[in-house]
Amino acid sequence: MRRIVIAGSTGSIGTQALDVISRSDSLEVVGLAAGSSVEPLLEQAAAHGVGRIALADPDAAARAAERWTAGQVLAGAEGLVELIVETECDLVLNALVGSAGLGPTVAALGEGIDLALANKESLVVGGELVMALAEATGAQIVPVDSEHTALHQLIAGQSPGSVARLTITASGGPFRGLTRSQLEDVTAEQALAHPTWSMGGKITIDSATLMNKGLEVMEAHHLFGTPYERIDVLVHPQSLVHGFIQLADGAMLAHVGPPDMRVAISYALNRGESVQQPIEPLDLAEIGALTFEPVDVETFSCLRLAREAAIVGGTAPCTLNAANEIAVHAFLQNELPFLGIAELIERTLEALPARPVRHFSDLYAADTEARERARELCKGVRAA
Ligand code: NAD
Ligand code: MG
């Protein structure tokens, strides 16, 4: 049995992971963690016979501890780390959203525990240190992200040095083809209506701004050690081809599959082995056509901002990510217009020049500073 701790088990990825695990004879959940959703977490613990849970919100943890006497409830960000470090497990699935996922990533890798990583923000914020930590302890990182799962599987079959370029695809989101002036008044409700994937709120907004692809370019760079100039983004509205690799001889290999995250989750939890899932295979004759188009980076400037921050390096990606989290939250609260998301990120990056990163503490400090600055700057962007 492979013993698994899931951080972020009540979210979109977390619940789909529990679905995959419940149908497996070789996977077992031994710990569950969430932010503040007490009721769903207790239900999951009961359904999966888990004896130890953690809630990042201390009040929620206190409520859970009152209600649930069958097991142990850990509290706070430290509680999540404790759950990972002290529960004997073989694999941690990190399905938290945002830079809050960095702590659990560091905790798992630091202990030499293999990591199924959905929380791409961990790599965006701290890619160099995270990859160095994995290298030092020998822990494996397997991505849980459709494009990166595709690239991981494609690259696994190649000899070193034969992969020339990587391509990740983007659906283009709900606003593909719109002009900047058409984007001025789009609402949170429209932005949350993703054409091909059903996901948590934050990544759905990131998909509408294309910031998600910017974060994914950084994710690919760190996972596969590929220089930025050799990572391409291609719009593919059907979301059926998830990634391509181009080989030295010019051949291109594509990864095609249904837009169902359980494929990526199963791949990571089963260590790259293909295990049967109740997923309808694609009928390509019925689909008929797969189309591709370039990204409109003028309109969707978040992708440009992310690539620029990636190349600057140091604390810049961490600042970009923190400002994006504040901006997305403000947009969802109707406190910022859609185009204000990119503007707030750009202003925050201008206000906080990049510094070198030597320790994880540099990242936590940069994250806090960028959040504070973005909150201040938000008022100005809103008024503009
Ligand atoms: P979600 O919002 O549905 O779920 C997030 C989970 O994290 C919940 O269990 C929540 O309780 C928990 N959480 C939130 N803040 C927390 C905190 N501060 N401390 C502890 N727990 C906290 O998010 P999601 O859509 O499942 O996405 C999770 C991650 O996976 C994100 O990094 C996202 O980019 C990535 N991802 C998601 C999908 C998808 O299909 N949903 C696809 C690819 C990658
Ligand atoms: Mg993705």
Query: pLDDT digits over 20-76, tens only?
Result: 999 999 999 999 999 999 999 999 999 999 999 999 999 999 999 999 999 999 999
Query: pLDDT digits over 272-299, tens only?
Result: 999 999 999 999 999 999 999 999 999 9
119 Cα to the center of ligand 2, angstroms? 11
Report how far residue 340's alpha carbon sits from residue 330's, in angstroms, rounded to the nearest whole number: 10
Q: Is the CB of 348 under 6 A from ligand 1?
A: no
DSSP 165-194: EEEEEE---TTTT--HHHHTT--HHHHT--
Confidence class for position 347, pLDDT limits 50, 70, 90? very high
Q: Is the CB of 94 under 6 A from ligand 1?
A: no
- The pLDDT assigned to 6 comes to 99
Phi-psi label, residue 324: left if phi above 0, alpha if psi -120 to 50, beta otherwise: alpha
Q: Is the dihedral of CA 254, 260, 263, 268 positive or negative?
A: positive
Q: Which ligand is nearest to the CA of 196?
A: 1
334 Cα to the center of ligand 2, angstroms? 26
34 Cα to the center of ligand 1, angstroms? 9
- The pLDDT assigned to 288 comes to 98
Nearest CA to ligand 1 atom 25: 200
Strand partners, 167: 232, 244
Q: Is the CB of 197 under 6 A from ligand 1?
A: yes
- Average of pLDDT values for 158-183? 96
216 Cα to the center of ligand 2, angstroms? 7
Query: pLDDT digits over 219-252, tens only?
Result: 999 999 999 999 999 999 999 999 999 999 999 9
- Name the DSSP class of 95: -
- Average of pLDDT values for 149-166? 96
- The pLDDT assigned to 383 comes to 78
**CA 264 centroid distance within chain:** 12
pTM here?
Answer: 0.98
- The pLDDT assigned to 384 comes to 73
Check: CB of residue 49 under 8 Å from CB of residue 70. no
